[in-house]
Structure 1
Amino acid sequence: MGSILEDITRPAKGWMAKGREPLSASLFKQRHRFSITGLSRSGKSMLFTSLMTMLRYRCEQQYNCLPLLHYLPPEQVESMHVEPLQGYTMFPIEEHLEALAHQRWPAPTEQLYGFKLVVRLRQTKGIRSWVFSHSTVVFEFVDYPGEWVTDFPMLSKSFTQWSDSAWAQQLSEPQLGFAQQWHDFVRGFDFEQAPSNELISELVAAYRKYLVSAKQAGISMLQPGSLLLESSGFDWQQSGFTPLPAKVSSDPSNPWTEIFQRHYQAFLKDWLQPLKSNSFQASDKQIILVDLFAGLNHSKQHLYQLKETLSHLADTFVYGNPGWFSKNILRRNAQGRVAFVGTKMDLLPPSQRQNMLSLLEQVTEGARAHFTGKNVNFEHFLVSAIQATDPGATDECLRYMNSSRQYMEACFEPIPARLEAMANDEHFPVLEAQVPDDFLPRILNGRGLDRLFQFLLSQETSNGR
Structure 2
Amino acid sequence: MHIPTFRYDRAIEQLCGDPPTWPEPTNGISEVRLAIRYLSNNPLLKRMSPIKTLYVDIVDYPGEWLLDLPLLELSYEEWSEQIARLCEMEPRATLSQEWRTFLETVDLTSEAEDSTLRQISQLYTDFLYRCKEPQYNLSLLQPGRFTMPGEDLKGAPLLEFCPLLKIPEDYNDNSLYAEMKRRYESYKEHVVKKFYQAHFSSFDRQIIFADVLRAFNTGYASFVDMRDAINMVLKSFHYGKSGLINKFFGLKIDKMLFAATKADHVTPDQLSHLESFLQNMLATSHNNATFEGVSSETLALAAVKCTQAAHTTFQGKKMSCIKGMPIEGDKPIALFPGEVPIEVPMPEEWVEGRFHFMAFKPPRLANVHGSGLPHIRLDHALEFLLGDKF
TM-score range, shorter chain: 0.7 to 0.9
Going from structure 1 to structure 2, the CA distance change for 1:320 and 1:230 (only over 3 Å counts) comes to closer
Contact conserved, 1:178 with 1:210, CA < 8 A, in 2? yes
Once residues 208 and 90 of structure 2 are traced to their aligned partners in structure 1, the CA distance between those partners, rounded to angstroms, is 25
1:121, 1:393 → 2: CA distance?
Answer: 41
- Picking from 383, 387, 397, the partner of 2:321 is 397
Q: Which amino acid counterpart does residue 380 of structure 2 have in structure 1?
A: R
Determine which structure has more spread, i.e. the larger CA radius of gyration. Answer: 1
* Deviation of the 1:353 alpha carbon: 2.5
- One of 295, 302, 307 as aligned partner of 2:215: 295
CA distance in 1, matches of 2:347, 2:59: 35
Work out whether residues 175 and 219 of structure 1, in 8 Å CA contact, stay in contact via their aligned partners in 2.
Answer: no
Output the CA distance in 2 between the equivalents of 1:387 and 1:111.
Answer: 25
Equivalent in the alignment of 1:136:
53
Following TM superposition, by how much is the alpha carbon of 1:187 offset from its aligned partner in structure 2, in angstroms?
3.8
**In structure 2, what is the equivalent of residue 227 of structure 1?**
146
Shift of 1:165: 0.8
Q: Report the counterpart of residue 432 of structure 1 in structure 2.
A: 359
Contact between 2:305 and 2:374, CA under 8 Å: does it hold in 1?
Answer: no
Q: Is 1:350 paired with 2:277?
A: no
Matches of 1:431 and 1:170 in 2, distance apart? 30
Q: Amino acid of the residue matched to residue 229 of structure 1?
A: M
For 1:189-228, what aligned pairs fall within 5 Å after superposition? 189=106, 191=108, 194-216=111-133, 217-228=136-147
How far did residue 235 of structure 1 move? 5.3
What letter is aligned with 2:161? F
Quote how far apart the aligned CAs of 1:241 are.
0.5
- Residue 285 of structure 1 is aligned with which of 202, 205, 211? 205
Contact 2:3 2:30 in 1 (8 A): yes
**C-alpha displacement at 1:236, in angstroms?**
5.1
Corresponding residue for residue 315 of structure 2 = none
- Whether 1:456 aligns to 2:385 is yes
| Cα pair distance change 1:422/1:452, threshold 3 Å | farther
> Partner of 1:167: helix, strand, or coil?
helix
Scaled by the length of structure 1, the TM-score of the pair is 0.71
- The 1-side partners of 2:20 and 2:116 are apart by 43
Deviation (angstroms), 1:182: 2.9
Cα deviation, residue 123, structure 1: 5.5
Tell me the SS of whatever aligns to 1:310: helix
- The alignment partner of 1:315 has SS state of helix
For the pair 1:96 / 2:21, whether they are aligned, the reply is: no
**Residue aligning to 1:360:** 278
Q: Any conservation in 2 of the 1:227–1:234 contact (CA below 8 Å)?
A: no
Secondary structure in structure 1 of the residue aligned to 2:291: coil
Return the structure number with greater relative CO, CA threshold 8 A, min gap 6.
1
Offset, 1:124: 7.3
In structure 2, relative to structure 1, the CA distance for the partners of 1:351 and 1:134 (3 Å cut) is: closer
Cα deviation, 1:178-228, whole Å, max 9, x if unaligned, reads 323333343455557543111111111111111111122311110111011
User: Aligned Cα RMSD in Å?
Assistant: 2.9
Report the counterpart of residue 334 of structure 2 in structure 1: 409
SS of alignment partner, residue 200 of structure 1: helix
2:296 & 2:141 partners in 1: Cα distance?
A: 27
CA distance 1:431–1:439, change in 2 (3 Å): farther
CA drift of 1:268 comes to 1.4
Inter-CA distance 358–332: structure 2 relative to 1 (3 Å threshold): same
What's the CA shift for 1:106? 1.3
Tell me the equivalent position of 1:420.
345
Q: Which residue of 1 aligns with 2:245?
A: none
Q: 1:320 to 1:265 in 2, by over 3 A?
A: closer
User: Once the two structures are superposed, what CA deviation does each residue of 1:78-123 show, in whole Å capped at 9, x if it has no partner?
Assistant: xxxxxxxx66421111222233325321111122222222233455
1:311 and 2:240 matched: no
Q: Equivalent residues in 2 for 1:18-37 (5 A)?
A: none
Q: Distance in 1 between matches of 2:183 and 2:62?
A: 22
CA offset digits 1:116-154 (Å, max 9, x no partner): 222334557634433345432222222222121111111
Deviation at 1:161, TM superposition (A): 1.1
Letter in 2 for 1:147: E
Q: Deviations over 1:375-416 (max 9, x none)?
A: 111110001111111223333422221223111222233233
After superposition, the Cα gap between the structure-2 partners of 1:177 and 1:346, relative to the gap in structure 1 and judged at 3 Å, is farther
The secondary structure found in structure 1 opposite 2:34 is strand
> Secondary structure of 2:35's match?
strand
Report the CA distance between 1:434 and its aligned residue: 1.6
Alignment counterpart, residue 33 of structure 2, candidates 112, 116, 126: 116
Determine the C-alpha separation between the residues in 2 that align with 1:396 and 1:170: 42
- Greater share of helix: 1
Question: Does the 8 Å contact 1:195/1:256 carry over to 2?
Answer: yes
In the alignment, what sits opposite 2:81?
A: 164
Indicate if the aligned counterparts of 1:386 and 1:443 stay in contact, CA closer than 8 A: no
Q: Is the 8 A contact 2:217 2:356 kept in 1?
A: yes
Q: Mean alpha-carbon deviation: is it higher for 394-403 or for 383-392?
A: 394-403
Q: Could you say what secondary structure the match of 1:139 adopts? A: strand
SS in structure 2 opposite 1:118? strand
Q: CA deviation at 1:447?
A: 4.3
- Asked if the contact 2:279–2:286 (Cα under 8 Å) also holds between the matched residues in 1, the reply is no
Distance 1:169 1:136, change over 3 A: same
Q: Is the 8 A contact 1:226 1:232 kept in 2?
A: no
1:294: how far off?
1.9
> What is the deviation of 1:348?
1.1
Q: What residue identity is the alignment partner of 1:436?
A: P
Residue 275 of structure 1 pairs with residue 202 of structure 2: no
CA deviation profile, 1:248-269 (whole Å, cap 9, x unmatched): 4x55548221010111111112
2:164 corresponds, among 233, 244, 248, to 244
- Rate the CA distance shift 1:251–1:366 in 2: closer, same or farther, 3 A: farther
1:172 Cα shift? 2.6
* Alpha-carbon distance change, 159 to 351 in structure 1, aligned in 2, over 3 angstroms: same
What percentage of residue pairs aligned between the two structures are identical?
A: 21
Measure, in 2, the Cα distance between the counterparts of 1:133 and 1:296: 50
Corresponding residue for residue 69 of structure 2: 152
Give the structure-2-normalised TM-score.
0.83
Distance 1:274 1:423, change over 3 A: same
Letter of the 2:283 counterpart:
E
